[in-house]
Amino acid sequence: MNINLFHKLEGGNIRFKALELKDIQAIHNYASDENVSRFIGWRLMKTLDETHTHIEEMLQREAAGSHLYASVVLKLSQEVIGTVMIFNFDHEANHAEIGYVFHSSHWGRGYGTEALSLMAEFAFGSLNLHKLHAQVVEANVGSLRILEKNGFKREGRLKDYYFIDGSYYDKILLGKLQLTGSAFDAG
Give the pLDDT of the chain (187 residues) as one tens digit per residue. 678 899 999 999 999 999 999 999 999 999 999 888 888 877 789 999 999 999 999 999 999 999 999 999 999 999 999 999 999 999 999 999 999 999 999 999 999 999 999 999 999 999 999 999 999 999 999 999 999 999 999 999 999 999 988 999 999 999 999 976 444 444 4
DSSP state of 10: B
Query: How far apart (Å, rounded) are the C-alpha atoms in residues 101 and 23?
Result: 15
The pLDDT assigned to 171 comes to 96
- The sign one gets for the Cα dihedral 180, 72, 35, 32 is positive
CATH number at residue 121: 3.40.630.30
CB atoms within 10 A of CB 155: 12
Domain that holds residue 23: 3-185
**For residue 31, how many other CB atoms are within 10 A of its CB?**
24
Contact criterion met (CB below 8 Å) for 28 and 48 = yes
Domain count, the chain: 1
Rg of the chain over Cα atoms, rounded to whole angstroms, equals 16
Q: To which H or E segment does residue 26 belong?
A: helix 24-31
- Which run of H or E residues covers position 13? none
- C-alpha dist (Å) from residue 9 to 13, 38, 101, 117, 180: 11, 28, 17, 11, 23
What pLDDT is recorded for position 187?
A: 43
Compute the C-alpha angle 81/151/127, nearest 5°: 70
- Taking a C-beta distance cutoff of 8 angstroms, is the pair 2, 126 a contact? yes
Q: What is the pLDDT of residue 38?
A: 83
Q: What pLDDT is recorded for position 180?
A: 65
Predicted pLDDT of residue 36? 87
